[in-house]
Chain A
Amino acid sequence: MTRRWRWKEPSVLPGFGLTFGFVVFYLSLFVLIPLAALILRPWELGLGGFWDAVTTPRALAALRLSFYAAGVAALINAVMGLVLAWALVRYEFPGKRIIDALVDLPFALPTAVAGIALTAIYAPNGPIGAWFDEIGVRIAYTPTGVLLALIFVGLPFVVRSVQPVLEDVDREIEEAAETLGASAFQRARLVILPAILPALISGVGLAFARAVGEYGSVIFIAGNMPLKSEIAPLLIVIQLEQFNYAGAAAIGLAMLGLSFMVLLALNGLQAILSRRGQA
């Protein structure tokens, strides 16, 4: 029997041509063509020019800050997100529904609003900033401020990734571990943590990806000092204002490439862990 190569299984449901055509057209128009511009334009500078554009001290400092702060913020969110998810799934307490809803506020609150609010809090004359100012610590207009803003925008990701999985952790497995003499801490570490680890990693990846590219909530609090507290997205904007399209695209492409490498590594880690979890 010859096996014909088919790219689509036949179906009697109407509308494939229409919907598929529309989806491909729409994606081409709004995603593929624009991204093609991002991927192709930096090379107008030539390979050397591209390299020079992304390795100027200013660009390197901006990229380093964006990725470093995003990484630290994602790790902090991993720990605190896990605590929050645990509290929301495992315990009953008054106001739980509202707390649960508020977790999504960073998703819903426009980033510019978050940015000016965080600045107002942590500026040297703000309620918390003044307190730190007295002991000689500055938060706003430093990389610490950047970190704070990135913690804010990344908070929901870990909670929302871990929550459903934690809800699904089989209570019987936990009880079996208990009957086998595992202590409470051992149960958490040996039974629950492996089960939620893939979800935790995927939440960390999402929080990281969001934080690397974050702009609105950061630029107000960052102070935007070149080489010190200037993030990569801001540098893109500055390059654009100077009509250096290729340079802006080069930094954008470098950001995209680097964050895809990080996400790819996290995906790989997650795949290994999930496979182990199924055994």
Chain B
Amino acid sequence: MSAARRSAVRGAAPFVIGVGVLWLALVVLLPLGMVFAEAFRRGLEGFLQAFDEPDAWAAVRLTLLVAAISVPLNALFGLAAAWCISRYEFRGKALLTTLIDLPFSISPVISGLVWVLLFGTAGWFAPLLDALGVRVIFTVTGLVLATILVTLPFVARELIPLMQQQGADEELAALTLGAGPWAIFSKVTLPNVRWALLYGVLLCNARAMGEFGAVSVVSGHIRGLTNTLPLHVEILYNEYDFVGAFATATVLAGLALVTLLIKSLLEWRFADELAATRRH
């Protein structure tokens, strides 16, 4: 089918494509380019200087640590949620699905705020935490809690529609062939959703490493201790170390680009094995 035949408004093609692409370039590509341009404003040397301080590396390590805890937990949650929502009929399923999606429609700042309300100095559980001598806010624990809340839906949202669409017949077949629960999960379910799982983990990870608002509220911005990479960018920027801020930002932009690349590859190569809305 030729492009011209597919168009409803023939002759409009160059105009529509032109406007669309220009808009994308202006809104999306320009900021991306700006990150790299600013990072190298003082050449490679200025760029590398930003990584010559221990606080930057502490931020990298902390970002990796927070993602390494929250992403696997949310992946596990996504698998469990997809299994119980796609494989059983029960009342309240719609409510459960809504609750799983809820974090997407909450401001990141609120996702941080709620933890302060619970565990901050005037939080509900402050007396308990004081008695135990444990701190949550302004610690890694707080960062993890906030990150889990913000990224909670990602894996579940990829797996639920896919598993609903695949149906339970293969698992039932495995059951009649004598497979136990673990064999059903590891030999049938998991291989069937592996690419969608990877897809969800990828998006979850990108958000976990890049999250700013929620972690900003609970972090306390303690350099070298509770500063993740995005927070480090903010601190450098507010200290007018623009090259340093943008140099650090290139790491995060690189992460975003790698994420997009893998995501596109998955959509292209494993379209059938992703939820229907991801197949473009």
A and B touch in the complex (CB under 8 A): yes
Complexed CA–CA distance, A1 and B233 (Å): 68
B234 and A112 contacting across the interface, CB-CB below 8 Å? yes
A37 to B149, CA, bound (A): 14
Q: For window 76-91 of chain A, which residues contact chain B by CB distance below 8 Å?
A: 80, 83-84, 86-88, 90-91
Given A19-B83, A110-B209, residue A91 in contact with residue B8 (CB < 8 A): no
- Compute how far the CA of A118 lies from the CA of B96 in the bound complex, rounded to whole angstroms: 38
Q: Please determine whether B175 and A237 come into contact, CB atoms closer than 8 angstroms.
A: no
CB pair A23–B175 under 8 Å, yes or no, is no
| Residues in B156-192 with C-beta less than 8 Å from chain A | 168, 171-172, 175, 180-181, 184-185
With A102-B29, A184-B10 known as contacts, the answer to whether A16 contacts B88 (CB < 8 A) is yes
Interface code B208-223, partner A: CB below 8 Å = 1, 0 otherwise?
0111110011000000
Instruction: Using A37-B114, A109-B252 as known contacts, say yes or no to A31 and B90 having CB atoms under 8 A apart.
Output: no
Residues of B within 8 A of A19 (CB): 80-81, 83-84
Q: Is B110 close to A, CB under 8 A?
A: yes
Binds B, one of A3-11, A46-54, A133-141, A271-279: A3-11
**Are A105 and B256 within 8 A (Cβ)?**
yes
Determine whether the beta carbon of A252 is less than 8 Å from that of B107.
Answer: yes
- Cβ of B117 under 8 Å from chain A: yes
* A100 touching B280, Cβ below 8 Å: yes
The reply to whether A9 and B277 contact each other, CB–CB distance below 8 Å, is no
8 Å CB interface, B239-280 against A: 242, 245-246, 249, 252-253, 255-257, 259-261, 263-264, 268, 276-277, 279-280
In A240-273, the 8 Å CB interface with B consists of 240, 243, 245, 248-249, 252, 255-256, 259-260, 263
* Inter-chain contact A215/B213, CB cutoff 8 Å: yes
Whether A91 lies near B16 (C-beta < 8 A) is yes
Cβ of A249 and Cβ of B122 under 8 Å apart? Answer: no
Known: A16-B84, A245-B120, A252-B107. Is A8-B91 also a contact (CB below 8 A)? yes
CB-CB < 8 A to A11: which residues of B? 87-89
Q: Known: A13-B88, A240-B217. Contact between A245 and B34, CB under 8 A?
A: no
Contacts of B257 in A (CB 8 A): 108
Instruction: Return chain B residues, CB-CB under 8 Å to A233.
Output: 107-110, 213
Of all chain B residues, the one with the shortest Cβ separation from A108 is: B256
Q: How far is the CB of A201 from chain B (nearest CB, A)?
A: 15
Q: Of B20, B38, B175, B216, which contacts A13 at CB under 8 A?
A: B175
What 1/0 flags go to B91-115 for Cβ under 8 Å of A? 1100010011011111111110111
B71 at the A interface (CB under 8 A): no
Q: Is A225 part of the binding interface, using a Cβ–Cβ cutoff of 8 Å? A: no
* A38-B105 contact in complex given A109-B256, A113-B35, C-beta closer than 8 Å: no
A34 lies within 8 A of B35 (CB): no
Contacts of B110 in A (CB 8 A): 38, 213, 233, 236, 252, 255-256
Which of chain B's residues has its CB closest to A239's CB? B113
Does B51 lie at the interface of the complex (its beta carbon under 8 Å from any beta carbon of A)? no
The chain B residue with its CB closest to the CB of A32 is B99
Contact of B83 among A15, A93, A106, A117 (CB under 8 A): A15
Please indicate the chain A residues that have their CB under 8 angstroms from the CB of B44 in the complex: none
Partner of B80, one of A12, A23, A35, A243: A23
For the complex, is B69 an interface residue (Cβ under 8 Å from A)? no
> Which of B20, B83, B245 makes the CB contact (< 8 A) with A84?
B20
Question: Contacts A105-B260, A237-B217 known; A215 to B212 CB distance under 8 Å?
Answer: yes
B residues near A38, Cβ cutoff 8 Å: 110, 113-114, 117
A14 at the interface (CB under 8 A from B): yes
Contact between chains at B35 and A110 (CB < 8 Å):
no
Besides A14-B184, A117-B32, 15 new A-B residue pairs in contact (Cβ under 8 A), listed by A number: A12-B172, A13-B87, A20-B90, A34-B115, A90-B3, A91-B7, A92-B3, A101-B263, A107-B206, A108-B260, A113-B210, A114-B31, A116-B35, A117-B249, A237-B109
Interface residues of B (CB under 8 A from A): 3, 6-10, 12-13, 16-17, 19-21, 23-24, 27-32, 34-35, 38, 76-77, 80-81, 83-84, 87-92, 96, 99-100, 102-111, 113-118, 120-124, 145, 148-149, 152, 168, 171-172, 175, 180-181, 184-185, 203, 206, 209-213, 216-217, 229-231, 233-234, 237, 242, 245-246, 249, 252-253, 255-257, 259-261, 263-264, 268, 276-277, 279-280
Subset of 14 A-B contacts with CB under 8 Å: A9-B89, A11-B87, A18-B80, A24-B96, A30-B145, A30-B152, A31-B152, A112-B230, A112-B252, A113-B233, A127-B34, A213-B105, A216-B213, A216-B230
